[in-house]
Chain A
Amino acid sequence: MNFDFLFNNFAELTVTGLAFGAIYALIALGYTMVYGVLQLINFAHSEVFMYGTFAALWTTMLLVGDSSVSTMKGIGVLLLALVAAMAMSATIALVLERVAYRRLVKNNSPRLIALISAIGASFVLAELMGLRDRIAGWFGLEDDLQRYVAGARINRSMPNVLDNKQLFPIGDYQVTSIDVLVIVSAIVMMVVLDQFVRRSRLGRGIRATAQDPETAALMGVNSTRAVQMTFLLGGLMAGAAAFLYMLKIETTKFDVGFTLGVKAFTAAVLGGIGNLRGALVGGLILGVAENWGSALFGSEWRDVVAFVILVVILLFRPTGILGESLGKARA
């Protein structure tokens, strides 16, 4: 065990861990909300995220090209990329709800079968992205869209739009603008979402449906709408996560969602599934603990650390750290 390395790089490990954790948390929201309302594991949510990364990537490629841009224009480009990513992810999430879930939810099918449907949808979505060059070929578009569809099965990287400025030091580590941007915007998003679900009429509908779908329906909540809203909000958050991920990591691939999805789901369970604040807590703890653990045991043990933490926490606190359900959140 490498304690020296952990202590010497403590600040850097913590800050980057928080940045990763913030991204996990945003993805985890999608899992946790759908679980809170429908009690099913939305396995395909990772693909919702993956489509968001590509939307961000393509938007910047389209607007920036190979030339470098001024700071002001760069900020504009990034904002557009954020909007594109959120729109894309939200669309995919809504389509997913319509195609893979609605019929099963309506027929009250066993929850495991909904999981299988989600797994199927996840394969389909990932492979559609991974075969985009071939699909463009069917329509004779592969030359026009060369830049976007090429390298369908390998890593594609984001053009550099903003310089990653070093802002201020914590200990030995210079905190960069991207670290701050990722952490701050993730937390802002979470607060907005939390307030929305707590205070707005639609949010109340979602919470009512999560608590008791039948009674909610009797009280005039359109449960189909509530479920749709849940997917929409989850998709929006996944899109934001995708954008931040592209800022931080800068590369994406058709199967990038899988590992991140598993991690985000872990974060959701860690914080207490069905609980919005739990997702934030779980995500941040997972991100930081993973970084510390990989410093201590070597980076190849990173994922093992994450899962061991999960197992240990669930043993002592079987409903997660905050352990509240979506329905029980105070109004």
Chain B
Amino acid sequence: MPPRFPGLKQVPLPGGPKNTTYIIRDNYKRHMYAENEVARKALKYLAHNTSLPMKTRLEAQLQLHQMPHYTRPTEIKNRCIESGYGRSVIKEFRVCRIKFRELALKGELPGVRSSSW
């Protein structure tokens, strides 16, 4: 069986406080997507173009389907950059709800403060 993530060790690790396995995997997928983005777009363009002959369109679609799973954008998941938690991640700050509270109370998030009225 071929390796699930070939060349995982060549990709530079993110320099966060805590690198979990899930963060490393997701980081790898992000790098692979960025590498293969142009090729994917070209194949998608060929497949979606109705003015081309049916054979080339089908071939392009098949090639797109045969690309490895780690080059697909749908494989990428937004994770907490502090803890690696995959759920309830706040998009604007890229941290999960727990770390968001911690950082906000410390005053490390600019423009965020606890409400009072």
* Bind each other: no
What is B's interface to A at a CB cutoff of 8 Å?
none
